[in-house]
């Protein structure tokens, strides 16, 4: 069985594709991930976490 890998989405992106990629990885709607990120952004750490993830998570090479 092939292991799933986390990639930033090229199809389902708003800014960098992080939420779309996480949604594809966990097979849930990316809108729910975006809403959770907005709640985290209110604390200040969500914005930093998003941009760190955008740097660390690679683009999907298959799209």
- Identify whether 22 is part of a domain: yes
- Identify whether 43 is part of a domain: yes
- Identify whether 49 is part of a domain: yes
- Identify whether 4 is part of a domain: no
Dihedral of CA atoms 3, 53, 16, 11 in degrees, nearest 10, equals 10
Which residues span the domain enclosing 44? 18-56
- Identify whether 1 is part of a domain: no
Q: Residue 23 contacts by C-beta under 8 Å, 6 or more apart in sequence?
A: 9, 12, 29, 30, 31, 32, 33
- Identify whether 63 is part of a domain: no
Calculate mean pLDDT across residues 6-12: 89
Q: Nearest to residue 14, comparing CAs of 29, 44, 37, 34?
A: 34
Q: In this predicted model, what pLDDT tens digit does every residue of 18-35 receive, in sequence order?
A: 999 999 999 999 999 999
Q: In this predicted model, what pLDDT tens digit does every residue of 50-63 receive, in sequence order?
A: 899 999 999 988 86
Q: Of 11 and 44, which is predicted with more confidence? A: 11
- Identify whether 38 is part of a domain: yes
Coil/strand/helix, residue 8: strand
> Please, are residues 34 and 16 in contact by the beta-carbon 8 Å criterion?
no
Q: Based on the structure, what is the number of domains in the chain?
A: 1
């Amino acid at each position: 069985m092939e292991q799933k890998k986390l990639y930033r989405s090229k199809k389902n992106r708003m800014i960098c594709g992080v939420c779309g990629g996480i949604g594809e990885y966990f097979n849930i709607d990316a809108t729910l991930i975006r809403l959770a990120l907005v709640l985290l952004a209110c604390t200040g750490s969500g914005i930093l976490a998003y941009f760190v993830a955008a740097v660390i998570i690679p683009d999907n090479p298959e799209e």
